[in-house]
Amino acid sequence: MVTGGSSGIGAASVRQLSSAGYEVITGARRLDRLRDVTDSVGATALQLDVTEPESVSAFAATVEERAPQGLSLLVNNAGGALGMDRVEEARDEQWEWMFQSNVLGTLRMTRALLPTLIASGAGHIINIGSIAGFETYPGGAGYTAAKHALRALTRTLRLELLGQPVRVTEVAPGLVETEFSKVRFDGDAERATKVYDGMTPLTADDIADCVVWATTRPPHVNIDEMVVRPLDQAAATLVHRRPVSGE
């Protein structure tokens, strides 16, 4: 089960997990775009908004109906960033959305589906975090705070599930070229493109590779954390950039 499967890392994970033999159920707010992903690989698309408790409850009930023997994998991918405001200019609504989508959404999905993950006898929860979960940078307080919280949730869950047949993994990417920056900059495609100027970022498929690799290890092997950066990025604010043509 993959959240946020309509684009980016979520869509790539749906495709690669389907290719690896998984029967995939995925949810997102944009059901039409989600079906564009699922129709080509035979996955199941369902409406889901992780920021709405009622949506999560309805989704979880449908998943349990379709997976009576238990759910083997939950990929909590839904999330994102809004804005680059400094702390003194921070907007409550942006912070609230980031915590709702990155943290509370992950909490709701995990809480709702944990019984069926345990029932499977070999469940796995993979949370898509970020290097923003252990680094900070100017203008990023809202997003880094949310991803720090997600990392704390993930590490706590690993402790609490000790002895249960459920593995817990966080995949923490650096710069990945998806719709992430376009959403962050309120649809400003030109500004979003500049984030990746002069360097080679990761792709959504690179991170989906990590998801598939982590979950296809033997059941006794738990990959606690994977930190994945492009070669051109050593830290959140330390990126090697080559001259862009025309400059």
- As beta bridge partners, residue 28 has 47
The reported pLDDT for the residue numbered 191 is: 80
**Domain assignments of the chain as residue spans, ordered by start:** 2-239
| Inter-residue contact 27 to 37 (CB < 8 Å) | no
* pLDDT block averages, 10 residues each, the chain of length 247: 96 97 96 95 97 96 93 96 94 96 98 97 98 96 98 98 98 90 73 88 97 98 98 96 77
Encode pLDDT of 78-91 as tens digits: 999 999 999 999 99
Which pTM value belongs to this model?
A: 0.94
| DSSP strands (E only) in 22-165 | 25-28, 44-47, 74-76, 123-128
Q: Which two tokens stand for residue 20?
A: 């690896």
CATH of 2-239 among 3.40.50.720, 3.40.50.1370, 1.10.3210.10, 1.10.10.10 = 3.40.50.720
The helix or strand, by DSSP H or E, that contains position 19, with its residue range, turns out to be helix 8-19
**What is the number of other CB atoms lying within 10 angstroms of the CB of residue 126?**
25
Q: Residue 65's Cα: distance from chain center in Å?
A: 24
Encode pLDDT of 37-91 as tens digits: 999 999 999 999 999 999 999 999 999 999 999 999 999 999 999 999 999 999 9
The helix or strand, by DSSP H or E, that contains position 2, with its residue range, turns out to be strand 2-3
Q: Which positions are annotated as active-site residues?
A: 143
The reported pLDDT for the residue numbered 131 is: 97
